[in-house]
Structure formats: structure tokens, C-alpha cells
């Protein structure tokens, strides 16, 4: 487990060359604060069962 509490991220890209558990993927992402502003860049492998998507921000 990487985080004690869930975080919100904006995915930049899926890192296809990085290997992990079957069905999981590494992602390059920005962690967002409550206002939706990027506050930190992260490489993480989210649990596919825990991922929730929202509308794309344009």
C-alpha cells in the first residue's frame, strides 16, 4: 500500500515498459489537491479494483 488515504491524480501516461502484477499498470501522474491543482508528480501502480474515473478535465 502506497498511501494511507486515497489520493486524486491526473494521469499523464501509462508506463508500458514498467512491469508489475498481472492486470496492474504503472502510471505517471500528477497528484491533485482539493482545488484540482497539481501539487506533486508521482509514478504509481494503482490497484485496478480501487481506481475510479471522473470526467476528463480540458
25 DSSP assignment? -
Residue 58 has pLDDT above 70, yes or no: no
**What is the pTM assigned to this prediction?**
0.72
CA nearest neighbour of 44 among 58, 57, 25: 25
Q: Strands across the sheet with 38-44, in order? A: 8-15, 26-32, 38-44
User: What's the pLDDT tens digit per position in 28-52?
Assistant: 999 999 999 999 999 988 877 878 8
- Rounded to the nearest integer, the mean pLDDT of the chain is 85
Kindly give, in sequence order, each residue whose CB lies less than 8 Å from that of residue 50, ignoring residues fewer than 6 positions away: 6
Amino acid at each position: 500500500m502506497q498511501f494511507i488515504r486515497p489520493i486524486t491524480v491526473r494521469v499523464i501516461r501509462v508506463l508500458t515498459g514498467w512491469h508489475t502484477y498481472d492486470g496492474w499498470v504503472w502510471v505517471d501522474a500528477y497528484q491533485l489537491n482539493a482545488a484540482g491543482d497539481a501539487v506533486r508528480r508521482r509514478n504509481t501502480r494503482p490497484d485496478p479494483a480501487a481506481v475510479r474515473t471522473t470526467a476528463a478535465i480540458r
